[in-house]
Amino acid sequence: MRILVVEDARTLADVIAEGLRDQGMAVDIAYDGLTAAEKLDINAYDVVLLDRDLPGLHGDTLCQMITARDERAMVLMLTAAGTADDRVRGLTLGADDYLAKPFHFPELVLRVRALARRRPAARGRTLRAAGLELDPITRVVTRAGVPLHLSVKELAVLEALLRAAPAHLSSEDLLEQVWDEHADPFTNTVTVTIGRLRRKLGDPAVILTTPGVGYRIAEQHGHRGV
C-alpha cells in the first residue's frame, strides 16, 4: 500500500509518515500542493492524506484534481478545520473521508486501511492463494490454518504479491509499492526480504521467481473477499 502525505507542517507530516511506515506502508511526503501534484503525476498512490490549507496549490484544488482522474487515489482530508460545514465542504469537493486535527493515530491507521479497501481497483478483504490467507485489516497471515509471524515489510511484500496474483511483480514494482521514493533502486533489500519470507512460509514454495521478470505467487486458487 502506497500513501502520499500532503501536509505543510513538516514535523506533523514526518510523524505521520513514520507511524504509517511502522504499519508496513510505503509513504511519500509533500510539504506543499505543487510538490504533491508532481508526485501524483509520477507515482500511483492508494490513499492521499491531504491538508486543505496548503502553500503553492490549495488542498481543495488538489483534491478536485485527484478525484478527476480515471484511476484515482482515495482522499482523506486531514485538517484543523473540523466543523460540520468544513466536513461537508471537503466531502463535496470529492474527498472520501475527513478527519479533524488533533486525531488519535490508531483511528487514522484504520481509516487509511478502510479507504484503501474501498479503492475501486482494490480486491476483496481476505486474500487467499496456495493455502495462504492474509487479512489486510487485522494483519493476520496463516498457511493451512497455522499463524505465521511476519515482519511489517515481509507482510507488505506478501500482500502486494497476493493482490497482483497471478501476475508477476518485479523488484522495482515491489520497491515502489512496499518501500518509498527514497528506496535505492540498486539495493538488494527486495531479494533479502523475499528470502526471509520464503523461509517463514515454508515448503512447498509459494513464491516463485522468473528470471528477468520477477516474483509471483504459485498455485493461485482465486482471490475473493469475505
pLDDT at 84: 63
Q: Where does the chain hold its CATH 1.10.10.10 domain(s)?
A: 127-217
pLDDT at 81: 63
Contact 124, 146 (CB under 8 A): no
Residue 223 has pLDDT above 80, yes or no: no
Residue 151: closest CA among 164, 139, 160, 136: 139
pLDDT at 212: 87
pLDDT at 129: 83
Residue 180 has pLDDT above 60, yes or no: yes
pLDDT at 199: 93
pLDDT at 172: 86
> Which comes out higher in pLDDT, residue 138 or 222?
138
What average pLDDT does the segment 108-122 reach?
A: 82
pLDDT at 22: 86
pLDDT at 222: 40
What average pLDDT does the segment 152-172 reach?
A: 88
Amino acid residing at 49? L
Residue 24 has pLDDT above 70, yes or no: yes
Place of cell 475473493: 224
Q: Quick check: pTM over 0.75? A: no
Q: Phi first, then psi: give them for residue 74, nearest 5 degrees.
A: -80, 145
pLDDT at 224: 37
The pLDDT-based confidence of 126 (bands split at 50, 70, 90) is: confident
C-alpha pair distances (Å), 62 with each of 37, 41, 73, 128 = 7, 12, 12, 36
Domain covering 2-118 in this structure, CATH number: 3.40.50.2300
Q: Where does the chain hold its CATH 3.40.50.2300 domain(s)?
A: 2-118
Per-residue pLDDT of 75-104, as tens digits, reads 999 877 656 666 666 677 788 998 888 899
Residue 121 has pLDDT above 70, yes or no: no
DSSP state letters, the chain? -EEEEE-S-HHHHHHHHHHHHHTT-EEEEESSHHHHHHHHHHS--SEEEE-SS-SSS-HHHHHHHHHTSSSPPEEEEEES--SHHHHHHHHHTT-SEEEESS--HHHHHHHHHHHHHHSTT---SSEEETTEEEETTTTEEEETTEEE---HHHHHHHHHHHHHTTS-B-HHHHHHHHS-TTS-TT-SHHHHHHHHHHHHH-SSP-EEEETTTEEEESS-------
pLDDT at 9: 94
Separation of alpha carbons 39 and 52, rounded Å? 17
CATH C-level class of 127-217: mainly alpha
Place of cell 502553500: 55
What average pLDDT does the segment 110-119 reach?
A: 86
